[in-house]
Amino acid sequence: MWNYVLFSSLVLIVSLLYHCYFNSPLSIIEHPNTHYDYIIVGAGTAGCVVALRLSEALNVTVLLVEAGGYFGWVSSVPILAPVMQGTEVDWSFSTEPQMFSSRGFWNHIQKVPQGKGLGGSGQMNHLVHSFGRSEDYKAWPKGWSHADLLPYFKKVSDIMNVMSSPEKEYLAEAFLVAEESLKLNNVTLQRGLYTTKRGSRWSTFNAHLQNAWNRINLHILTNTLVSKILFKENLNVDGIKVIYKDGLMRKIVARKEVILCAGTINTPQLLLLSGIGPAEDLDKFQIPVVSNVSEVGKNLFDHFMLPVYVNLEAKVSITLVKLQTLPEVLNYFIFGRGWYATNGIMAVGRVNNSGLMLFGLGTTDERMLKPLSNYRTEPYRSLYPSYKNNSQEGFLFLTYCLQPKSRGTVTLRSTKIRHQPKIDPAYLEHYDDILCTHEAINFAIRVIETKQFREYGAKVHHPDLEECRHLPQDYRDIEYSECVMRVGALSSHHVGGTCKMGVDDHSVVDENLRVRGVNGLRIIDASVIPSPVSGNPNSVLIAMAERASDLIIGRTG
């Protein structure tokens, strides 16, 4: 009881201090100028980087327009990332009903959270750091190879304060020593890496935007929705149309460029509403065609994860009961240490194209997590046996295919910017994704069978799903494994690719990120990533935004 009272009191005190002493930066304005050299749409992971870099040139003016406002202080606590989902700082996107997956979810619909506010999804993700593998970039255009991006990877590693899971973390240690006995080719096991500073979330909002938001040549417009990109008759960009919080609309002119950093879902929607996209799709909504770019909204990809629950006998995992103890709470709020200062991802591994993440939280509280994911009750309880036991020891292996072949789309639902577009990731449409994920599951099982995990009493939980009861209850059986995937796998929230970068007709932007068919419009966000990154893509996107800024300024290419 007293733990709950103390935690609530600390939350109240920190919240009051945050609101009392937080001073609004000079760059945050309510009434913008009529003209700017550069207009950046979206203050997410990439937008924060671009705003910093472009405003370094004092002879240019930059406007950063963001649909949301500030994230609260809770977002700064790494372990509390899921708490942001479904709130006013989340776009709260939902997919269309899925044909090949999501059978354990209401109406076969997946939730796709995306950050809405300064910092974007970087303020609510799990902060996992990865640059993938060098071969991920082989088919990317000139200038974007792994070798080309290496200087930017180093820059990101320095700026983003990359940390690893604690040295004395038992599950991470057991995972790392497992490599010696696995005797598999192409295996990589390592500690989880994440971006924090002094125990708090460290995103591009902290590392980039806050370093720029008192510059006189940078204006930041919050709670303002961009409804359309405007063009002149010669297809040169003219500016943007915005809708303020009170409903008023206004045009703002861009002298040089408009740079879209609105994200994998909002960017293609805005392009389509502005007349850039497949002509046949625009005609359905009687939108005048500015540029017939057939691939806008196509090539949507995501990592699709199956959580494999592992029961433990030893007390070596994170539980809600442990998180609510007085020492743990004080350790974080006084010293910035402990489990609250981590993201819970203790280790990651891969074999060939199959990936694992070891998430060390053994408790899967039904009241909080089930509504966020849209699971139906019976499948949720079957997949997560600790749903009502906040002291149960265990962890999750998040198993997935690093290079999924399924591709989906983002298309218009209506001509209104406030209406969510149709999002269809087509999860598990390509059977190779089943085989690849099955290999990841079996990789996880082999890890659990190693000596240290056996000593911890690790045992794989096989969910008793109604749809799969006719099959052998064993993940080694491909049919059972596939059945559980199609019922219980869920989005990793790594969506990308909807405005693919390339040099052929199947791309939306060229190698300089300029939108085809028009002048003065670029895209710098996850929508331009041509193909999946073998790991969490956030750090790669930061590196891409750094290089893209250099391209605009003229420091490279």
Contact at 8 Å (CB) between 110 and 94? yes
Contact at 8 Å (CB) between 420 and 413? yes
Point out the catalytic residue in the list 35, 208, 494, 506: 494
In angstroms, the Cα distances linking 207 to 242, 261, 514 are 27, 17, 26
In angstroms, the Cα distances linking 320 to 52, 454, 525 are 39, 24, 35
Burial 373-408 (b: 16+ CB within 10 A, else e): bbbeeebbbbbbbbbebbebbbbbbbbbbbbbebbb
161 vs 137: CA distance, rounded Å: 24
In angstroms, the Cα distances linking 408 to 148, 282, 433 are 29, 18, 14
Which amino acid, one-letter code, is at 285? F
Q: Give me 492's structure tokens.
A: 């990793």
For this structure, is 419 an active site residue? no
Give the CA dihedral 168, 174, 177, 183, nearest 10 degrees: -160
Rg (CA), the chain: 23
In angstroms, the Cα distances linking 544 to 35, 141, 205, 382, 537 are 27, 13, 16, 40, 11
Other CB atoms within 10 A of residue 415 CB:
12
Burial 425-448 (b: 16+ CB within 10 A, else e): bbbbbbeebbebbbbbbbbbbbbb
Other CB atoms within 10 A of residue 326 CB:
11
Q: Give me 76's structure tokens.
A: 């700064």
70 vs 116: CA distance, rounded Å: 9
103 vs 546: CA distance, rounded Å: 40
Under DSSP, the state recorded for 101 is S
In terms of phi and psi (left: phi > 0; alpha: psi -120 to 50; beta: otherwise), the region of 198 is left
230 vs 39: CA distance, rounded Å: 12
8 vs 5: CA distance, rounded Å: 5
Residue 456: name the closest of 252, 188, 183, 172 by CA.
Answer: 172
Which residues form the catalytic set?
494
